Chains A and B, each alone.
Chain A
């Protein structure tokens, strides 16, 4: 996401610059330098690493808790056997074969004694019935166990006489109830534990046998108990589980409430809270860690940019001759950005992924080494495959960068030479070349994208593969009772935790590669040799300078083996106007560079007021000179800012005065904002006007020496004449050096030095040199030569 901050500035090494990690030449030393330059932020980085680690540890512990939570919830699915037992105990407290006979006799309240026998025999019932009664009587007495059976078989008329309405435990039992009770009892075997008869009993009897009671704080009525017993007795041993759950659903509410599964909500709540805390903490750590790294990486990037910008001013000019400015710019923006962003993301990812990775490996081996090996082996197979693909795609990525660079180069060439391309009718030719390059890029593009796109699905597959392997091996081990089922469940989670960070580590590693490459480039620049430190031996004050300059056998070459200035000696007396002329490449500008101490002389010496410039600081020398260069360098800012530049205490009036002298005042006034108009790259200010502005910048402050290096080459000749006059006035009493292509500019110089191939070949005034009829005269006259 941070990637979004990157933008459309084309990096030096192709528009995609950062997309592909460049292989650093010396990864280790680049990273070492990076680390040591990060020392300033060591506390923050340490903190952020700790936080990332902590957050990973928390993440490591959360799956286990989540699985405990699942277990806890799944407990809520199993029937509450404790309460079930309580309920049946409650029922059996009255309904058991030991207590039942006593209870029955209590209910019947039947006492067969002399009185009752007499009562029956004297009643007006049929003699048949009386006979039955008497025969039963003897059976009852002899076979005590089947009393109820025999009683039940007695004719109603007899029972009617024997039984009376009665109360038991405050419950009224009518004679009729007792009779039907007896009838039912006579048909069953009490000792069979089959209580299905209960539902047919009269309610008064039911409520005695199954009194309303409270089980686990739940009131269970007689009817509920009756229903429960009826339903339960309908179950057979082979009834399937889900059938049982269905039947359970038909149980009376009170019973359901008692035997319903009891989830330990308190425990569930506790785990949820703990998990919530873990998640919040882990996110919080993550957040703080991210914030620290965002701040560190941005501050670090800023530091690096500042360092580079300062370094630019410390490097000898020589450096800039050999290096493209685009390359340096690319280091300021692209490379620094790469470092900052990867630092921001990779470091924390690397730490937390490593923690997770190592943590899960340890956890796996601690739990079971066979499964641990299975998990690791099954993933390693995939990872090897993945790295092969990664390597392959890397190749295409580099190739793509190259092709992109080539195409970029060609486009640049074609676009900037569009006028020639058009007039030479070269469209077809150019299109052909473009298409060829474009096609090459297309091929690399397609391949690199395809291969890198495989990464993510590969990761998914590796994860799933590991999952299945662990499950199969786990089941095998479990069947041999080497491990429990819980171990497999735990491993399923470890496999996920183990495969995910690996891909992140791989990604972080590749981005570290690009950090290596980028920091190598940045530090290479920062380590570049600076200009020699100078000691201020003497200081030549601006006001005290007389204006004498002496070149004494100066020898110089930009490269040691290519000497440009061979043996240059000359003296400029105070107040003289010295012109340097000669064909291109004669070394005119080089002389100025040496005078300004932009470069160090190989041998010989230059003296200002008899002081060697080696004894003066560069700053001091620059202070003494006003310099106007050929290149019309204006920066983005207002016209006034460009003229005043870094000088202080310059009044607006002074700016205007100088501009009037140079002749741009009128032009500036026509601009919409006058002196406050912004100078930019657009076309509203012509090259000539730009040059006049730079002349104004040079003239705004007086210095004892003046250097004009092709200062008026872009100005048309008439304007030049005006400026010339102004400058002549300026040059009065000042020692000035003028380099010019147009010889008319320098005709009135006090001394003309004619240079060719690094040497002075002629010197003198214009007249003297013309008379001499040598190189200068030849050069001068050729401008009037007729071609006819």
Chain B
């Protein structure tokens, strides 16, 4: 957790110091107040006390109270500033960190978890800071100060107070010890309740089709009971806290009074008055001591929750980005639109098995290279290596004759146009989605229109009420799958890349749209290189080069006709989709 607090700026630490100073002042005022209070009480109790005296003492006390209020307000101001700026900066840092993370790390964390870490976990830390900062400084100062005020007054009373503090800390400790492990269990169980209900909701049609309502209810009931039982146990344990605290507080006062009575009774006449005064003072300060320890205990109870969050945040912060940016920002080779895989192998860092092994091929300017293979053959992974979502384990990938590791990311991303499997839409307008990010040249209105026309999106966009200025909801929920996919293709067309990468990007389009789109694309981007991952044979039939993958290995390279002759895997795939005669006709 401390590590995270290093994110505080010098200015914030300065503010925190101001807070600390003000807290000292506030504690001084607050410890001063009982004096005035007892003065007033005494004055009021004395017959014939003069009104001005009472007014003066009252004025002093109010002054103290007001001073304490004002300093609390200033402390609040600064601590909220520190806490809010801490969360602001940490959130910014983690967001930018995630943006830079390699996709495999993102996958490992899972997007939903990363979102929680960026928002909720930081909020937890912020709460600890804003509430804790004040208490964390105040309670030890208060405790120590109050202790010095009563120190040496009486051994008996000090012992009683120490005993009270001891009982308090022990009981808090025991309760924490009992509750903490369950705490983790409860968190997991809440996840489980969430999980089971999410399951039941997402599979609701399956549940009904199988008449499995009872089954799913029983399943939910089990986690529900588990959660309730554990939560009940924890809360029952916590329920001891408040009675124990009040018993200790009341018990302490009572004991101080009772012991005081005995002490006064046996003391010399001359000591009695002093003892009585001490007793009143002691009981009020002892209360302060106990309260400060209580506040400390509270903070310690808040800690574990925040430290869980801190750990989760640090996990993200500490994840290492192995993908280092290169420096090349210009085309030095004079080549354009070429991609070459030289003996490329890839596996995830922790995995044993290679996902891709010894892949070799070259795509020249203007060529269409297609990748086909069964589920899990590694075709998507292969294509994702080019924009450096992952880095190759062995071998190298050359774009325009230069190893992609040597390119500046921005430059590399301007050469290639990547269309993902799942269309991504950002909230905004059609235009802002197509105009997304930085490209070589600004996307003009004309260019935008062209891109929409080529991607077969122009027709439906022009039917929208505000055309290309129409609103798009986050995730494109107000568009159909096919529409999203067409817009995501338009986005890449508008960027004018040398090399197009389509990662199964036509799957949501029906055959007809698919074919028209690709025809138009071919016309429009004549000179650019296309890398296409596809499932449908029809999509790749006319590729210049088809690369057949099987379990991460290349089992065939060639045109459709060549492969039909010499590649069994390809033949099987093709025949599973269309009959022999049809293939021959088409070819």
A585 touches B480 (CB 8 A): yes
Q: A453-B80, A646-B212 known; A465 and B224 CB under 8 Å? A: no
B212 touches A431 (CB 8 A): no
Closest CB-CB distance, A315 to chain B, in whole Å? 9
Which bracket fits the contact residues of B? 35 or more
Closest CB-CB distance, A60 to chain B, in whole Å? 14
A-B contact count (CB 8 A): 493
Is A320 an interface position by the 8 A CB rule? yes
A286 touches B246 (CB 8 A): yes
User: In chain B, residues 237-259, which have Cβ atoms closer than 8 Å to a Cβ of chain A?
Assistant: 238-244, 246-247, 250-251, 253-254, 257-258
B201 touches A5 (CB 8 A): no
| Chain B residues, Cβ within 8 Å of A275 | 250, 254
Which A-chain residue is minimally distant from B58 (CB atoms)?
A: A468
* Stretch of A69-77, A106-114, A199-207 on the interface side: A69-77
A409 touches B474 (CB 8 A): yes
Binary flags per residue of A457-487, CB closer than 8 Å to B gives 1, else 0 = 1101100110110011011101100000100
Is B162 an interface position by the 8 A CB rule? no
Q: A474-B44, A715-B375 known; A320 and B204 CB under 8 Å? A: yes
* Stretch of A20-28, A519-527, A623-631 on the interface side: A623-631
Binary flags per residue of A358-382, CB closer than 8 Å to B gives 1, else 0 = 0000000000000000000000000
What are 24 residue pairs bridging A and B, where the CB atoms are less than 8 Å apart in the complex?
A: A74-B276, A79-B269, A249-B268, A280-B247, A290-B243, A291-B236, A309-B200, A310-B217, A313-B204, A313-B216, A344-B235, A411-B118, A422-B387, A425-B438, A429-B438, A460-B65, A464-B65, A468-B65, A629-B206, A631-B203, A633-B199, A715-B375, A716-B375, A717-B573
* Residue in contact with A471 in the complex, picked from B54, B76, B187, B387, CB distance below 8 Å: B54
CA distance A371 to B98 in the complex (A): 63
User: In chain A, residues 253-307, which have Cβ atoms closer than 8 Å to a Cβ of chain B?
Assistant: 256, 260-261, 263, 265, 268-269, 272, 275-276, 279-280, 282-284, 286-287, 290-291, 294-295, 298-299, 301-302, 305-306
* Stretch of A161-169, A224-232, A728-736, A776-784 on the interface side: A776-784
* Residue in contact with B250 in the complex, picked from A279, A416, A694, CB distance below 8 Å: A279
Which A-chain residue is minimally distant from B488 (CB atoms)?
A: A420
A76 touches B542 (CB 8 A): no
User: In chain B, residues 32-75, which have Cβ atoms closer than 8 Å to a Cβ of chain A?
Assistant: 33, 37, 40-41, 43-45, 47-49, 51, 54-55, 58, 61-62, 65-66, 68-69, 72-73
Q: In terms of DSSP, what is the predominant structure of the interface of chain B?
A: helix
Binary flags per residue of A312-327, CB closer than 8 Å to B gives 1, else 0 = 1100010010000100
User: In chain A, residues 1-25, which have Cβ atoms closer than 8 Å to a Cβ of chain B?
Assistant: 1-2, 4-5, 7-10, 14-16
A284 touches B215 (CB 8 A): no
A263 touches B265 (CB 8 A): yes
Q: A302-B228, A419-B424 known; A636 and B195 CB under 8 Å? A: yes
Is B346 an interface position by the 8 A CB rule? no
Interface centre among B200, B261, B272 (most CB of A within 10 A): B261
| Chain B residues, Cβ within 8 Å of A460 | 65, 68-69, 72
Closest CB-CB distance, A368 to chain B, in whole Å? 14
| Chain A residues, Cβ within 8 Å of B68 | 457, 460-461
| Chain A residues, Cβ within 8 Å of B280 | 70
A425 touches B439 (CB 8 A): yes
CA distance A8 to B537 in the complex (A): 46
Is A596 an interface position by the 8 A CB rule? yes
B201 touches A622 (CB 8 A): no
Which B-chain residue is minimally distant from A74 (CB atoms)?
A: B276
| Chain A residues, Cβ within 8 Å of B247 | 279-280, 283
CA distance A474 to B65 in the complex (A): 20
| Chain B residues, Cβ within 8 Å of A294 | 232, 235-236, 239
Is B324 an interface position by the 8 A CB rule? no
Is B413 an interface position by the 8 A CB rule? yes
A430 touches B99 (CB 8 A): yes
B119 touches A425 (CB 8 A): no
| Chain A residues, Cβ within 8 Å of B83 | 445, 449
Is A721 an interface position by the 8 A CB rule? yes
Closest CB-CB distance, A15 to chain B, in whole Å? 4
* Stretch of B148-156, B336-344, B578-586 on the interface side: B578-586
Apart from A302-B228, A344-B235, A421-B99, what are 7 other A-B pairs with CB-CB below 8 Å?
A74-B276, A272-B258, A420-B491, A441-B88, A445-B87, A485-B47, A681-B110
| Chain B residues, Cβ within 8 Å of A717 | 374, 535, 537, 573, 576-577
Q: A618-B208, A716-B374 known; A424 and B495 CB under 8 Å? A: yes
